[in-house]
Amino acid sequence: NGLALDSTGRLTINEHGRRRVVRLERDGTTTVVADAYDGKRLNSPNDLAFGPGGALYFTDPPFGLVGQDKDPAKELDFNGVYRFANGQVTALVRDLGRPNGIGFSPDLRTMYVSNTVATRKVVMAYDVAADGSVANGRVFADGTADTAPGMPDGLKVDRQGHVYATMPGGVWVIAPDGRHLGTIRAPEVAANCGWGDDGRTLYITAETGVYRIRLN
């Protein structure tokens, strides 16, 4: 599912079905980064981003399990947001129903997490402490009342701190202070987005296609 490059250019991958996070090494082999927390298997890692100190942060909803929260294979009793650093997996957030997209402000002091729940279609913001922990969770963007197709899913942040989050109706462009500046309406329901070319082109993954749009 989620993909991210580390500081040396290696690809880190969330393997949804295998319930683990792996790293693709330069020789083509894979290294398991994280597959459990507190002795229990992860649900199905979804999205990931590198934060302060190069630590890996990732979300772990139950979407990869057939029965989701009721699946007998589910070992954890929550759907969390985690930090991996120095060989240890730490649970940071436990109270989101379906944590999904994740990203950081340019100064790495704010972590954004989208929540894919029909009754709570929100992007949350958290303050990031010097030790990598998070606090002061608050609603950053709320699309619960929006009936347009689409849900909070993937998100990315630009160099000025604007958040580009897939939400009802397309990709919402949200200012650092939480103002919804506008929506990029893709031809079909958008799932995630990412930067390409010189950093001014946004690529959007959707239900059946990949799209791109040049931005100002």
Contact indicator for 91, 82 with CB cutoff of 8 Å = yes
Query: pTM surpassing 0.75?
Result: yes
Low-confidence ranges of the chain (pLDDT < 70): none
pLDDT in tens, 155-205: 999 999 999 999 999 999 999 999 999 999 999 999 999 999 988 999 999
Give the model's pLDDT for residue 212. Answer: 96
Residue 114, CA distances (Å) to 9, 96, 140 in order:
26, 9, 9
Quote the DSSP letter at residue 146: -
How large a percentage of the chain has pLDDT more than 70?
100
Strand 80-85 versus strand 11-15 pairing type: unpaired
How crowded is residue 41: how many other Cβ atoms within 10 Å of its Cβ? 14
117 CB burial (10 A radius; 0-12, 13-18, 19+) = middle
Residue among 101, 76, 81 at smallest CA distance from 91 = 81
